Amino acid sequence: MTSKQTIEALSRTQMAQALPDAIETAIQSYRDFMRQDNSETPKMFGDHHNACKAAIAHIELLLKLARWIDLDDQNNQQKNRIKKLLNNAQNELDGTKGGHEE
């Protein structure tokens, strides 16, 4: 195994450990922020809307990282948690982009 492969494998392992909590935190933060009423002025509304779009982009990046992780190298419990988070987050994003809210 080359040094690059070792670093990549280590990175994947570290990301697999950190991503589930990062995804859960990002989604919960997005939900909390999205529910705030910031419609007092058009500027406040626009700023809030842009911040929500940035949060969605952040969640999408976390999902891409989760897909990058080689799930075959993870234990079953962690693999199942990541897969569940991916499915839930993707469903959440699909609903948000489609204009559906809970």
Per-residue model confidence as pLDDT tens digits over 12-60: 888 888 888 898 899 899 989 988 888 789 999 999 999 999 999 998 8
Single pTM value for the model = 0.67
pLDDT at 98 over 70: no
**Phi, psi values for residue 75, rounded to 5°:** -70, 160
Q: Are 80 and 51 in contact (CB under 8 A)?
A: no
pLDDT for the residue numbered 69 = 77
Band of residue 1 on the pLDDT scale cut at 50, 70, 90 = low
The two three-digit tokens of residue 79, written as one number: 């693999």
* 11, 15, 19 from 22: Cα distances, Å: 15, 10, 5
Contacts of 39 (CB under 8 A, 6+ apart): 45, 48
The two three-digit tokens of residue 87, written as one number: 């499915």
Contacts of 44 (CB under 8 A, 6+ apart): 38
